[in-house]
Amino acid sequence: MSSRTLDPADVDRLRACIAGAGVAIFPADTVYGLGCDPDSEPAVRRLYELKGRPAAQPAAVMLFALEPALRLLSELMPREREAVRALLPGPLTLLLPNRRRRFSLACGPDPDTLGLRVPLLPRRLAALEAFDRPLLQSSANLSGEPPARRLAEVAPSIRDGAQLILDGGDLPGLASTVLDLRDYEHAGRWSIVRQGPLGQAELEPILGS
């Protein structure tokens, strides 16, 4: 298994790429991702084109640290905020009410729902926590294909089309659990939309049955 430690220069390169409406390949806690500025229509369109992803399919918004995410989503209600603090950072994508209809380019046909990712980065990737802007992100694979756990598994067409590639070595390789919390505040209901590293057994002690 190969590993590589990211450093502040890598974060500076990522910051410049995203500010310039580029698309970046980067490592996270689960699989390799594609990221871009969530408010840049050309960048989002390019990311979707690289993946061959249908334009109406939502993506998630990722931040690399929890506190910036909580400041950004200041409209979270008390029970939601408590759940987010308990679950993140971690290998999860949380579907949350998008009361202020932020990041419309990431939301597809459902502007009232926002997917949120805050990865639990290993120490060798922790430099990314200094990147304090939100990213529209999706896994760095062609639509319908398996996610990439190492850079060599990212399709050549995606690697050739990205403006930046950050090599973080080998990753666990299982895409995040997608967890629906849209009814959690008022009804205490939650459901797993996509099974990933965390399942029912791990989530019930945190969220209730």
Mean pLDDT in residue range 40-68:
96
Q: Which residues pair with 169 in a beta bridge?
A: 3
Residue 209 confidence (pLDDT): 81
Residue 146 confidence (pLDDT): 95
Asked whether the beta carbons of 38 and 95 are under 8 A apart, the reply is: no
Question: Of the CATH numbers 3.30.350.10, 3.90.870.10, 3.40.50.2000, 3.40.50.720, which one belongs to the domain with range 8-207?
Answer: 3.90.870.10
Residue 67 confidence (pLDDT): 95
Sign of the four-CA dihedral 118, 123, 128, 132: positive
User: What does 139-164 look like in DSSP terms, one character per residue?
Assistant: ESS-TTSPPPSSGGGS-HHHHHH-SE
User: pTM for the complete prediction?
Assistant: 0.96
With CA atoms as reference, report the closest residue to 130 among 65, 33, 46, 181: 65
Mean pLDDT in residue range 138-151:
96
Mean pLDDT in residue range 78-86:
97
**188: buried, middle or exposed (CB in 10 Å: 19+, 13-18, 0-12)?**
exposed
Chain segment 84-131, per-residue pLDDT in tens: 999 999 999 999 999 999 999 999 999 999 999 999 999 999 999 999
